[in-house]
Chain A
Amino acid sequence: MIQFAQVCKRYPNGQDALRNVDLEIKAGEMAFLTGHSGAGKSTMLKLISLMERATSGQVIINGKNLNRIKRRKIPSIRRDIGMIFQDHRLLFDRSVFDNVALPLMIAGYDHREIGRRVRAALDKVGLLSKEKNTPIMLSGGEQQRVGIARAVVNKPPLLLADEPTGNLDPELSAEIMKLFEQFNQVGVSLLIASHDLSLLAQMHYRTLVMKESRLVQDQIDDVLEVDDSFEQDNDTNLVRSADEF
């Protein structure tokens, strides 16, 4: 599903965000991506969603080599990727229903089909009763769930989440993770960037650790060996990561 081969990313200001990253995430796999702020997590997600291009190396998503994707083909790639953001990125002048319907409208679905799928997605995240509300009337956790509904409504094979629980309390975070697990169970691949180490410790999934622009750890068992400095930085990272992505 996701393949990185010797991927480097250098930003125009000379900063190396990724150095020689090799990675493979298979279809139907769920993985977490963790590490310091500025370790390259966001850059990785941006390369996958074509918000940035690799300076060198290959990024292959869903069998498509992104290096060869022309600008006008970007939308069709993005339609196969559901994206979930820490700040939700909802449109506040539209109803919850319209927000979730957006990917379907863009893809040109029939309006009855849109209604059916949007309600199914909202039902899945438990917000069916709020479809007529605007996002501003919802709590942070609810807004995040609207964002998730929007990401899954056109059933993309891959979900990317950038700090999806960054602003939520542990209980809500656990709920969100449960949702992700449910998607994974029906075959969706997920890559979730998160700082929330205690949450990661509860979830027994593959975890990729980034440090100084490199992928330093890739393990599937539940014992996460995290060095001390990372633990100490964690709180400040949570705050700083809100500005990222």
Chain B
Amino acid sequence: MSSESGAILHEGATISARFKMLLRLHKLEARRGLAEIVDNPISNFMTVLVIAIALALPAGLQVLLENGKTLSQSWDGASRISLYLKLNVSNSQTEHLAKSIKDNPAIDSVEVIYPEQALKDFSASSGFADALAELDSNPLPPTLVVQPNVNHTSPLASETLLSEFKQFELVEKAQLDLDWVRKLHALLELAEKAASALGLALGLAVLLIVGNTIRLSVQNRREEIEVVKLVGATDAFIRRPFLYTGFWYGLLAGVLCWLILEVSLIWLHQPVQNLAGLYQSEFAISSLNIKQSFQLVGISCALGLLGSWLSVGRHIRNIEPR
């Protein structure tokens, strides 16, 4: 008698038949897990929304940081060093110095701005042409704009070059144009750490939210679990629909989080472009690419599944038929 019960899969079945059966079972349980959410749309939507917001905060910060990095990188190329020479330096001396600097392998190009040219440009752009014409002598020094090559644009290399230039006799003042780019770098690094910490904390929060929701759902179905245990269900069998529920929470929350981010970024697009326009920049805020979108949803699904897994095993174990 007992050999007959369950004989279908224990003995005769081919592997493909077993696999098909398992697939069917999973499909059924996935649907049941989803039904669990759909049957109670309002409270479950709240849960999904909370998870989505908890994910949107670190993910949004990450996107902004990524944008900040692209922005700072586009400025890296412009990390030029301006050398203001002493006022009494002649044009030939200037040219000579420019040539010697150009010979340095770390230097890409040197642009020479003679005082006459500088004055002409300044009076043209500043609108002080009349006032400047009144001056008896040109107050502007000859200037060399030095562009280090790509391998020497890092903060440290720029610093070395700068101190080197400062020792030249003819140089009155050497200035790194984008000193603040370095500060931005440091700031971004700090923000990145903060974002990681925030991500970790909120990821944990998501686990707890899902875990708690699943715990309530297990308690609500206590009677059903008892019955199913009585007819011989293993813990794994009982666990599966709950794991699917957790997975669906993660999936829905991930998609919702993605939507929240996209809408926020579209909303930010115009103001950022306006701001960039003020700095003569072409910079436009970029949203998540396909890979990042899938990563976001994937992480969300994994968190949902993990949260449910951590919670469901313990609580199902505690329910024994009476």
Which residues of A does B touch, CB under 8 Å?
A: 49, 51, 62, 72, 75-80, 83, 89-91, 93, 102-103, 105-111, 113, 150, 154-157, 187-188, 245
**At the interface, yes or no: B228 with Cβ under 8 Å from chain A?**
yes
Pair A79/B13 contact, Cβ less than 8 Å:
no
Q: Do A80 and B234 form a contact, CB below 8 Å, given A51-B321, A91-B227?
A: no
Pair A110/B1 contact, Cβ less than 8 Å:
no
Pair B5/A155 contact, Cβ less than 8 Å:
yes
Which of A62, A75, A188 contacts B232, CB < 8 Å?
A: A75
Q: Do A89 and B232 form a contact, CB below 8 Å, given A155-B4, A156-B5?
A: no
| A75–B233 CA distance with the chains assembled, in angstroms | 6
| A66–B8 CA distance with the chains assembled, in angstroms | 26
Stretch at the interface among B17-25, B113-121, B205-213, B242-250: B17-25
Q: What is the number of contacts between chain A and chain B, taking CB atoms within 8 Å?
A: 84
Pair A105/B25 contact, Cβ less than 8 Å:
yes
**At the interface, yes or no: B2 with Cβ under 8 Å from chain A?**
yes
Pair A79/B25 contact, Cβ less than 8 Å:
no
Pair A107/B25 contact, Cβ less than 8 Å:
no
Interchain Cβ contacts under 8 Å between A and B, 30 examples: A51-B230, A51-B320, A51-B321, A62-B2, A75-B232, A75-B233, A76-B232, A77-B232, A78-B229, A78-B230, A79-B5, A90-B227, A91-B227, A93-B224, A103-B231, A103-B232, A106-B228, A106-B233, A107-B232, A108-B8, A108-B25, A109-B9, A110-B8, A110-B17, A111-B21, A113-B8, A150-B231, A155-B4, A157-B5, A245-B322
**At the interface, yes or no: B237 with Cβ under 8 Å from chain A?**
yes
- Residues of B within 8 Å of A111, CB to CB, are 21, 24
| A211–B234 CA distance with the chains assembled, in angstroms | 35
Q: Do A79 and B9 form a contact, CB below 8 Å, given A111-B24, A155-B1, A157-B2?
A: no
Q: Do A80 and B13 form a contact, CB below 8 Å, given A49-B230, A103-B232?
A: no
Closest residue of B by beta carbon distance from A73: B234
| Residue from B5, B13, B21, B229 having most chain A Cβ neighbours under 10 A | B5
Q: Do A107 and B5 form a contact, CB below 8 Å, given A75-B234, A78-B230, A91-B224?
A: yes
Pair A79/B232 contact, Cβ less than 8 Å:
yes
**At the interface, yes or no: B105 with Cβ under 8 Å from chain A?**
no
- Residues of B within 8 Å of A113, CB to CB, are 8
Which residues of B does A touch, CB under 8 Å?
A: 1-2, 4-6, 8-9, 13, 17-18, 21-22, 24-25, 224, 226-235, 237, 320-322
- Residues of A within 8 Å of B8, CB to CB, are 108-110, 113
Closest residue of A by beta carbon distance from B13: A110
Least CB distance from A177 to B in Å reads 22
| Residue from A49, A76, A102, A245 having most chain B Cβ neighbours under 10 A | A102
Q: Which 3 A-B pairs have the closest CB atoms?
A: A79-B232, A157-B1, A78-B232
Q: Do A102 and B228 form a contact, CB below 8 Å, given A108-B9, A109-B9, A110-B17?
A: yes
- Residues of B within 8 Å of A79, CB to CB, are 5-6, 231-232
Least CB distance from A25 to B in Å reads 15
- Residues of A within 8 Å of B17, CB to CB, are 110
| A103–B228 CA distance with the chains assembled, in angstroms | 8
Least CB distance from B3 to A in Å reads 10
Least CB distance from A241 to B in Å reads 15
| Residue from B8, B9, B228, B322 having most chain A Cβ neighbours under 10 A | B8
Pair B227/A80 contact, Cβ less than 8 Å:
no
Closest residue of B by beta carbon distance from A103: B231
A79-B6, A90-B227, A155-B4 provided; 19 other pairs, C-beta below 8 A?
A51-B230, A51-B321, A75-B229, A75-B233, A78-B229, A78-B232, A83-B231, A91-B227, A102-B227, A103-B231, A106-B228, A106-B232, A106-B234, A106-B237, A107-B9, A108-B6, A108-B8, A150-B231, A156-B2
- Residues of B within 8 Å of A93, CB to CB, are 224
| A89–B228 CA distance with the chains assembled, in angstroms | 10
Pair B21/A110 contact, Cβ less than 8 Å:
yes
